[in-house]
Structure 1
Amino acid sequence: MTLNEVNEQAKEIRSRYHELEKEIHGSVWTVEEDALAFLTDASLIGRLTMDNQGRWPSDNRDILPSKIGECVWWLSVLANRMNINFEDCVKDFLEERLNSLE
């Protein structure tokens, strides 16, 4: 799957969640609320990583791969909501890092 395909699917999924948010709360989450949700999932990855490495017990160890995927999804969502090209973000970052290590 390409980053562009990830991005397109992320938009579709987020659109569906926006509909659910409108139904439940009367409005969609703000960009700031999306960022907080991302940080919550990223923090959970930290704990699950500790569990994976035998440093913190967890009853949810099987969800680590899903949470990693969810964080990629959130990053795509955040980029889209702030009118930043997700694919370019990743590509430019990787190129900059590779160039800095040469």
Structure 2
Amino acid sequence: MSTHTVAPHGTREGDDSTFVLGERDKPTGPDPYIIPPDDRRPTVDLSEITRRAMRVHGLYDELNRARHGRTWQPHDFVLGFVGDVGDLAKLTQAADGVRPAPPGNGLGHELADCLWSVVVIAELYGIDLEAAFTTTMRQLEESITSDLGKGTTR
């Protein structure tokens, strides 16, 4: 499996392939979410991500109550997530050179928005996201390993 990291100024490295976005598509400054070459990243566990996500959720509730007289319902967060995924799709297309980069935040920001939405939606629907993720990854590993053992690949 190959992995790609987006490097500053729209270049992508990895797997012997490199591309450069057009001049007008390049970000105006370095993306703060780029993985540093030495991979020294702060680590945050899922419980801390959940705590911070729900704190921001509470702030949005206050803002929506003040502006609109109501808070978002769980299905509103799902619709917001769909919008975030659309923004993410546009940014990945820009990173792959098939469309101009849209104005606004970068890929890292949109991925974080999507993660925030997933965490909040899980909390609102009472899903233990850590347990669900662990179980789902185990099931996928078993299924893929089984398929590989059966020779069901191309």
Pick the aligned partner of 2:129 from 86, 92, 98.
86
More helix by share: 1
**Contact 2:91–2:102 at 8 Å: present in 1 too?**
no
Q: How does 1:10-89 map to 2 (within 5 A)?
A: 10-60=53-103, 63-89=106-132
User: What are the Cα deviations for residues 36-85 of structure 1, in whole angstroms up to 9, with x where unaligned?
Assistant: 10000001100110000000112437511100011011000001111111
The 2-side partners of 1:62 and 1:52 are apart by 13
Pick the aligned partner of 2:138 from 71, 84, 95.
95
Higher relative contact order at CA 8 Å, sep ≥6: structure 1 or structure 2?
1
Bigger-Rg structure (1/2): 2
Count of residue pairs the alignment pairs up? 102
The 2-side partners of 1:54 and 1:38 are apart by 24
State the Cα RMSD in Å: 1.4
Equivalent position amino acid for 2:142 in 1: N
% of aligned pairs identical? 24
Residues 27, 62 of structure 1: alpha-carbon distance in 2 compared, 3 angstrom cutoff: closer
Equivalent position amino acid for 2:127 in 1: I
Equivalent position amino acid for 1:74 in 2: S
Q: TM-score, normalised by structure 2?
A: 0.62
SS in 1 for 2:66: helix
SS in 1 for 2:106: helix
Q: State the 1:26 CA deviation.
A: 0.8
Q: State the 1:27 CA deviation.
A: 1.0
Q: TM-score, normalised by structure 1?
A: 0.92
Q: Structure 1 stretch 60-69 or stretch 26-35: which is displaced more?
A: 60-69
**Contact 2:65–2:71 at 8 Å: present in 1 too?**
yes
